[in-house]
Structure 1
C-alpha cells in the first residue's frame, strides 16, 4: 500500500507536537487541515494512530510504529539535503 507523504509529514508533526494545534502552527496550516489529514491517514491504514484527549494526543501502539518509521525516513532525507 502506498501512503501519501504529505499525510505522513503531518502525522509526524502532530505526534512530535502532541497536538493538532501545535502541529498546525509548526506547519503553517489550520488545525482542521491537520485533523483531516491525520483522519485520512488513519482511514488509509485502517487503524487509529492517536488516542485523543482533552490535554492532547497520545500515540497508539500502531501510531508509535508508524511514527518511528516516518521519523527514520525524515532523518534520512535530511542527510541527503
Structure 2
C-alpha cells in the first residue's frame, strides 16, 4: 500500500481514509477506483483489516529484511 495509512495509529486509519476518499470522489476516474479497491480489500475486507497492516510504532515497518533473505537464497540456488 503506497498511502501513508499504515504509519497512522490503527484508530485513525479509517477516518483518514474516508477523508481521502471524499477528495477522490471529486477527482473521479482511476484515483476513485484505487480508493474503492483499498476500501474493499484493506479497510472493509474480510481477510486484511487495518489492524493487520498497521505499522505504527513497530520496529520493523517494511519487508526489506525478507526480500534481502530471499535474494541470498536465490543466489545460493543458482
> What's the TM-score, normalizing by structure 1?
0.30
Q: Which has the larger radius of gyration?
A: 2
* TM-score normalised per structure 2: 0.31
Relative CO higher for 1 or 2, CA cutoff 8 Å, sep ≥ 6?
2
- Structure having the larger proportion of residues in strand: 1
